[in-house]
Amino acid sequence: MAKATDSRYQEHLVDSRVDALATNREQEIFLHNMALVALATRLTHALRNMAKSADTFAPRKGSYGNGSMSEFERLWVEYGERFGIDFTTPENAKRIAFIENMRKARNQIVHEGGEANPFKYMNEVVKAGDEELLETKFSEACSEYVSGTGASAVVCVTPEKLNENIQESLRLIEWLAGKLRRIQLASASKTSGTQ
């Protein structure tokens, strides 16, 4: 760009570079957001599969939780009732604390196209008044997943936040796998002791 003698050509190069950087930034945000969606989905799948694989020593007894609960809340109920793992204790609640905001971010990405403060539906606007056209519950509750403000705010999963969620997910799965293995071994020893 420094060698360009024509100022119009220099301006064109600067504009092209700015466009390329903006496009690259949008693509990075999209990829990190999709990685979070995939992580939340895989975590749900792994937790369900772990519970399903435990059918031989702790059979399922119908459904757990209710329809108004998130898939994770239903899993916590199931793990509590089937395996005696209480996620309301401070120590265990801390293990799963990251999930709720991750779940909300995933839902915002999937259901709102990544808009952090989407416009309210017309019937909600009429009830709220014209001064409150944006739904800001997500950006207020999950600010660590938001870039920008107002109508231009977007869900933006940073590489650091993504990595943090990956590490927390792995720790949770590892801890639960150990708990389930101990329950399985205790069940096997009870079964062999009664024969």
**pLDDT digit string (tens) for 80-99?**
999 999 999 999 999 999 99
173 within a domain of the structure (yes/no): yes
Is residue 177 within 8 Å of 50, Cβ to Cβ? yes
7 within a domain of the structure (yes/no): no
53 within a domain of the structure (yes/no): yes
Helix (H) or strand (E) holding 154: strand 154-155
* pLDDT confidence band for 145 (50 / 70 / 90): very high
150 within a domain of the structure (yes/no): yes
Looking at the DSSP bridge assignments, the partners of residue 119 are: 134
10 within a domain of the structure (yes/no): no
> Measured between alpha carbons, how far is 78 from 184 in angstroms, rounded to an integer?
16
SS3 160: helix
pLDDT at 108 over 90: yes
Encode pLDDT of 19-63 as tens digits: 666 666 788 999 999 999 999 999 999 999 999 999 999 999 888
More confident residue, 79 or 188: 79
The count of domains in the chain is 1
> Measured between alpha carbons, how far is 156 from 144 in angstroms, rounded to an integer?
8
Is residue 87 within 8 Å of 80, Cβ to Cβ? yes
- Give the pLDDT of residue 25: 74
Is residue 117 within 8 Å of 153, Cβ to Cβ? yes
Domain of residue 172: give its range.
Answer: 16-194
**Positive or negative torsion for Cα 107, 112, 113, 117:** negative
9 within a domain of the structure (yes/no): no
66 within a domain of the structure (yes/no): yes
Q: To 5 degrees, how large is the angle CA 163–CA 148–CA 136?
A: 95
110 within a domain of the structure (yes/no): yes
